Structure 1
């Protein structure tokens, strides 16, 4: 009789333990959720939490966001147009210079920046530019890649945005740009699969009338939104928004040309990039 009680007691304890184990697994699965498809540009297998513990991600597959996490020099490659070049900054630093200064504070190692920005550059020109062996060498060695492109495409292709923004023309220009941007990112990732890419979003520097302003902002918002969707196809790639910075601080953040940022404007962009990088 005593032996029978022991058997039933053992069965009961085992059942409760199993139930608790299954409940814990369900809670973990709910908390972790499925991996977002935007975090990986290609098809991937969805592993369970237990399988992920058995097959941990290799450290070398995770990009180093901080220079302190890199052995030796930390390399930044800046690609794009006049925003990358730093046009309008009376100090000559631009967002690339301010970002470099802040990242240098994080490590005793040297932060090396290669600024390849070119004033007036459009997306098709950048695509051709990054296919040169010299630029590809820089991209391969980079721990961080920054990118600003599209402003010249929009301004030159969407009609006179300072007077009468043309949504139809802007849409056509946008589609062409997005297709080229996808090719640019594909080319960069063919040279460097893991390093973070920070893309500087567009802002509207033009003081327009109410109706024109609404139209211009709709064009800009859709442009940035569609750009972000293309970026999401590539892992560790992010759009850094800037429109709000200049909406409320245009008089303080714009250079004398009322188009490019000044030193304060570039510093604000760099600090936002640093936040996103962290």
Structure 2
């Protein structure tokens, strides 16, 4: 997949309330002068033509200051999600910034543990449809259920009250999707999607089995062996872990 056809989309409009730092998680420092944004930019820059970041209204200004040079060069763009309606709303609200590309690489804005090897393998493996790196987890927070033919049947989400099974497959916050027909599929999905039982949001993750099961999109799974890659920066413990991991990478 030629890099010029890929746009990275980073939904980062979350407030990071569990961290209690008062700044978007993408701007949290994991080393002196090194934020989650710097790590993600370093991982994604060799793989994509453009990076688009979706921020909250209060986070937009500080992020624009942080990434000013990249924004000025045109390599990075920013949009605002006015209301916190979920990741799907952030991604598809930013469609004017990515729909001219053949592929989008969606990366959660707190995935400080994403390895460059995994990101590269996903882009390289993607041909059409949907490509997701998955890793078995002892106690998954999110679990992907596939049938023997490789169709994605369901995504269980603990935050919506689903029970995830020990040893189940989880994502690492990275999703590669072809853009042809994608916005139309999302619009149709909204017509029938049920809001999450606890969040009340129309979540992005159940959209993925809809694409695979209902729309017949081919699914490519990229196996990941290190469960640490699935760990976002959500809590103080996660942040401490990310800082220790970054120190190991730096060495």
Q: Does the alignment reach a TM-score above 0.5?
A: no
Structure having the higher helix fraction is: 1
Larger radius of gyration: 1
Given the two structures, how large is their TM-score scaled by the length of structure 1? 0.30
